[in-house]
Amino acid sequence: MKHEWAKMTWQEIAAARERRPVVLVPIGTVETHGPHTFIGLEHVLAERLAGDAARETESLVLPGLPFGYSEMFREFPGTVTLPPEVLEGVYEHTIRSVLRSGFDHVLLVANHIPNQPMVEHVAFRIRRAAGILIAWTNPQTMAASLLKDAFADPVRVRGHGAEPGISLARYLDPDAVRLDGARALPSPTEFRGLPVQGTVPVVAGKPVGMALGMRDVAPGPGGWGDPSEASADAGRLMYGTLRDYLVELVRRFREFDTHVEREA
């Protein structure tokens, strides 16, 4: 049974409506992930997870939407960042096209955290106009909690450009990851006298929003953490857990009533 939207005819897509499948939409971004991980990791991971889940659950999967909002990484060559209003338009018209084709269960596999506000804005517009609840999930955020099962010191290896992304990348496409000269990079500690956690300033233990770029808090190759222990085996372990979660979500969502009252 075909599951890839892009490889089906319009007649096959029309016929697929009879089984009321979930339609998965992979969403990611193209941005730096340090000096060793390929820049398309988040959308490659979203496409792979969505494709595997669609195959296993007899769902449909759209071609991935690779670009996202990656403003803080714009100084790094290769980063492709779209303005929020453009992303909202792409998301909204993609979803409306799926609904117009006769499907009412749309699940976004949205791996990039900064894309989430645009997804939520669109979801409310779709609810008000079409009376349909779409759903979205970010399986990649689960991966950090799995590091303890794969590494002796999960705190040391974790970071942007390190784990869990780099082991997932080695599993997804080992030839695209080079660990030549891999070494631990220091985590950001301060910005103009303010402590930071990740890339976020902190005052009195609470995060403070600022429009900071990666180079503001982490000068260097665009990441931190220790990528030197990255392995395809660790990536396989994490990927399997993420895939199993997504398969279960798709099965539960398929039985969920997505219809609500439209706004007048």
Pair of tokens at residue 115: 């894309």
Q: What percent of the chain has pLDDT over 90?
A: 92
**Residue that wins the pLDDT comparison between 1 and 34:** 34
**At residue 264, does pLDDT exceed 80?**
no
- Give the mean pLDDT of 35-41: 95
Cα(120)–Cα(135) distance, rounded to whole angstroms?
A: 9
pLDDT of 195 reads 95
Cα(41)–Cα(168) distance, rounded to whole angstroms?
A: 8
- Give the mean pLDDT of 246-263: 97
Measure the CA angle with vertex 140, ends 231 and 150; round to 5°. Answer: 35
Predicted TM-score of the model (pTM): 0.95
Q: Which residues touch 137 (CB under 8 Å, ≥6 apart)? A: 107, 108, 109, 110, 246, 249
pLDDT of 138 reads 95
pLDDT of 198 reads 87
pLDDT digits (tens, 9 = 90+) for 211-227: 999 999 988 898 999 99
- Give the mean pLDDT of 27-55: 96
Under CATH, what is the fold of the domain 5-140+239-254?
Rossmann fold (3.40.50)
pLDDT digits (tens, 9 = 90+) for 190-215: 999 999 998 999 999 999 999 999 99
pLDDT digits (tens, 9 = 90+) for 80-119: 999 999 999 999 999 999 999 999 999 999 999 999 999 9
φ/ψ of 252, rounded to 5, equals -70, -40
Q: Which residues touch 7 (CB under 8 Å, ≥6 apart)? A: none
Q: Which helix (H) or strand (E) holds 229?
A: none
Q: Which residues touch 17 (CB under 8 Å, ≥6 apart)? A: 101, 102, 103
- pLDDT-derived band at 1 (thresholds 50, 70, 90) equals confident
- Give the mean pLDDT of 62-73: 97
The pairing of strands 135-137 and 106-110 is: parallel
Measure the CA angle with vertex 47, ends 24 and 122; round to 5°. Answer: 45
Q: What is the mean pLDDT of the chain?
A: 96
With contact defined as beta carbons under 8 Å apart, do 63 and 23 qualify?
no
- Give the mean pLDDT of 2-31: 97
**At residue 25, does pLDDT exceed 90?**
yes
pLDDT digits (tens, 9 = 90+) for 116-133: 999 999 999 999 999 999
